Structure 1
Amino acid sequence: DEKGNPLRNSIQQNDARAVEEIKYIKRIIDEDEYFSLTSNTINQQIVPPKYLWLKKHEPEKLKKARYIMGSYDFISFKLTGISHVELNWALESGLWMVREKKWYKKILDIAEIPDHLLPAVYKPIEIVGETTEILPGIPVIAGSADHIASALGMGAKEEGDLLLKIGGAGDILFVVNSLKMDKRLFLDYHDIPTKFILNGCMASSGSIVKWFRNNFTNNLEFEKLTKLAEKSRVGAKGLVMLPYFLGEKTPIFDPIARGVILGLG
């Protein structure tokens, strides 16, 4: 809100609640044109469907909104008092033009997102401001999306470098030296200027392992689970899992896809 307080719990990128809103946007937009300008498809990750969902289901809260930003942007906002978003958050929001590096007016109008809700966009290493309360005067940079920072930290910086990153979600990150877009994948700016990262992203990955442990193993330690898995033969005795526990992102972009664990008997 105007004072910088969150109006509700955050809606994460993997959240698939805005199914009807995705269908609505797909009916009224040229998806090929949208993809060519933003590098995004109309999917559960981008902001426009979620904003329309909030407008329909929580209009009073939305009326009080002053900023739209990502989780790590919010943390640095609280540290500095300066509203902003980082470059890759802007790109992954589906509101940003990948080449022109500016907000895409057409999708803002379709989603009925006012311009004043969108703060300034900073590159990852740009200084946003300084801390104001905890040890005042410490410079704060915009930072980077977790998966992109992981790629840089692991040394994935040359074209063809590949990184598999597992967290709550799962990412297969592939470095390219020039802009390349594929509707089956997400695209990110690399933290090294002029480079890009193609991203095959599963909506749920490590989160499924945690869910399985909590519900089926009496909270067995992950290390012990790993050792048990090591003993299983290739093919896991025919066990099959479709990992669509939060819908799915790439490559099928289906928010109503459902997960299955088959062959437990």
Structure 2
Amino acid sequence: MRCTLGVDVGTSSTKGVLVAPDGTIIATTAREHDVSRPHTGWVEMDASIWWDEFVDIARELLAAHPDAEVVAVGVSGMGPCILLADENDQPVRPAILYGVDTRASAQIERITAELGVDEITRIGGSVLTSQAGGPKIAWIAEEEPAAWARARRLFMPASWLVRRLTGAYVFDHQSASQVSPLYDIESERWHAPFWGRYATTIVQPRLAWAGDIAGTVTLQAAESTGIPAGTPVITGTIDAWTEAVSVGAHETADLMLMYGTTMFMVFTSAVTPGEPALRTPSMWTTAGAFPGTRNLAGGLSTSGALTAWLKELTGADYPQLLAEAEASGVGARGVLMLPYFAGERTPIQDPDARGVIAGLTLEHTRGDLYRAALEATALGVRHNVETMRAAGADIRRIVAVGGGTQGRLWLQIVSDVTGLVQEVPETTIGASYGAAFLAAVAVAADGEAPLITDWNPITERITPNAELRTAYDTLFDRYVRLYDGTKGVVHELAAEQRGTSSHSTPEES
């Protein structure tokens, strides 16, 4: 039985899937893990988790299906993450995660002052924020000099798995474009002057596209994983982009909306000769997953993380909370929430933002709070969509993906708040499925590559309720004003939170 193996390393779990040539899912499995938050604003992960869980998943799936013939391997992972390793591929410290890790604020400010906003956006496409990889590299150099002295290579989860599987040291263009300002978005290559200034000791990875074959499984990796030596492995990319591939939301004018631990949005546009990529200071301009494409992307720092927090806080299960949230009704009986419980990424780009719950009374219930949390994430999505459109994004089609799509109430609220139809595909397993698809395409004979529309057709459309438009327009106005009205006090509280937490580094303690 020929098949492809797709594995994705996410924020809270690693997922694997075996997929038949026609897109049928043969088997899936997952391993849950946690991030480390050693200080306020820090979010890290031990890279050994990525490889260990890949090995466990591969062995479990292959043992359960001994007749499976894996013809190619697809990988993806959360990002942009910054993992630095020495010349022997030993990590010099835990990986620093994407925009939810806000430690590099001083480096962002300094590099922006040194290079200038215009030059940074001209080269990298986006202003520097907590999402950018370059300032986090600079943070390690400045704050952990012993670790920096040993650093020679740069990885993210997908490139780390490729390295362990094949020995190839390669980055995909999409991931590279998020190591801003070290990548030139227009010429699609590392920017040597900035690299030489901020990543001096790091060897530049070779660049490829997400679906390109990076190499083949080595004998050593075959012994560890059970995957036959010589099996092709694709370069892979960041999970949100692989999720977009998994549901066919990677064509021009598509917007992928990923419901996960965080909420992520990716709009795709075509490269037009002589015209620069779409740019706006409050979003991220990146290379696409495929040649000839660019993306305008955004993300909420919390979505599933917020609903999970409420679940743990209240002791109720998700079916209970969803039923109570549905009964609460539009506007959560006068409760309005800002979902900035881990700071916020786009479009406000404010790592010192914090969660706010306004309008609470003694009569309110956990169902009202849960409804307010669902509406808060939907309002955050609307804020991003409106910002993208103001930048020139011609959004014609929205496809929803991720674990949150299993709850139709959340999907309906997002459509009602944004006024947008969401298409839901048959399979919403996510990035691991997209990685398996890219692997299948990579090894297909000429003219025989599968189509994602055949693998994963659209089976449902969530249509907004026009009668709720006025109510949610009012709520969105209040949402924006609530942030503006509370920002000053919240920033003082954030500074106090930082001041009361230890800032000793692992090298100092």
What is the TM-score of this pair, normalised by structure 1?
A: 0.90
Quote the offset at 1:258 in angstroms.
2.0
Contact 1:175 1:198 in 2 (8 A): yes
Q: Distance in 1 between matches of 2:211 and 2:173?
A: 10
Q: What residue number does 1:217 align with?
A: 314
Task: State the match for 2:269 in structure 1.
Answer: 176
Whether 2:354 is the aligned partner of 1:258: answer yes
Q: How does 1:68-217 map to 2 (within 5 A)?
A: 68-94=154-180, 95-111=182-198, 113-114=199-200, 116-132=202-218, 133-134=221-222, 135-178=228-271, 179-214=277-312, 216-217=313-314
Given residue 13 of structure 1, which amino acid in structure 2 is its aligned partner? Answer: Y
Would the alpha carbon gap of residues 116 and 173 (structure 1) be closer, same or farther in structure 2, given more than 3 Å must change?
Answer: closer
Query: Is it true that 1:232 corresponds to 2:319 in the alignment?
Result: no
Letter in 2 for 1:244: Y
Bigger mean CA deviation after superposition, 172-181 or 71-80: 172-181
* 1:62-73 aligned within 5 A: 62-73=148-159
Mapped to 1, the partners of 2:128 and 2:209 lie a distance apart of 25
- Per-residue CA distance 1:222-257 (angstroms, 9 max, x = gap): 333323222221011222222222222211222222
Question: Aligned partners of 1:264, 1:110: CA distance in 2, in Å?
Answer: 51
Local SS of the residue matching 1:246: coil
| Cα pair 1:19 1:256 within 8 Å, conserved | no
How many angstroms does 1:140 deviate by?
Answer: 0.7
Query: Which residue number in structure 1 is paired with residue 423 of structure 2?
Result: none
Tell me the TM-score normalised to structure 2 length.
0.49
Measured after TM superposition, the shift of residue 118 of structure 1 is 2.4
- 1:40 and 1:92 in contact (8 A); partners too: no
What secondary structure does 2:155 align onto?
coil
Contact 2:154 2:202 (8 Å CA) reproduced = no
2:16 aligned with 1:16, yes or no?
no
* Amino acid in structure 1 at the alignment position of 2:314: T
Letter in 1 for 2:241: I
Which structure carries more helix by proportion? 2
Q: Could you list the runs of 5+ residues in structure 2 that have no partner in the other structure?
A: 1-85, 223-227, 272-276, 362-509
Letter in 1 for 2:88: K
Whether the aligned pair in 1 keeps the contact of 2:209 and 2:290 (CA below 8 Å) is no
Moved more, 78-87 or 184-193: 184-193
1-structure distance, mates of 2:203, 2:357? 42
Task: Name the residue aligned to 1:36.
Answer: 122
Quote the RMSD (CA, aligned, Å): 1.9
How far does the alpha carbon of each residue in 1:60-119 deviate from its partner, in whole angstroms, 9 at most, with x for none? 1121112111112111111112222121110011011011111123333443x1264321
Which residue identity does 1:255 align to in structure 2? P
Secondary structure at the residue paired with 1:196?
Answer: strand
Question: Does the CA contact (< 8 Å) of 1:65 and 1:117 recur in 2?
Answer: no
Deviates more, 1:100-109 or 1:146-155: 100-109
Give the letter aligned to residue 222 of structure 1.
Y
CA shift, 1:38, in A, is 1.0
Aligned residues: 262
Q: CA deviation at 1:173?
A: 2.4
How high is the sequence identity, in percent, across the aligned residues?
A: 30
Asked if 1 retains the 8 angstrom alpha-carbon contact of 2:173 and 2:288, the reply is no
Supply the distance in 2 between the matched residues of 1:51 and 1:173 (Cα, whole angstroms).
25
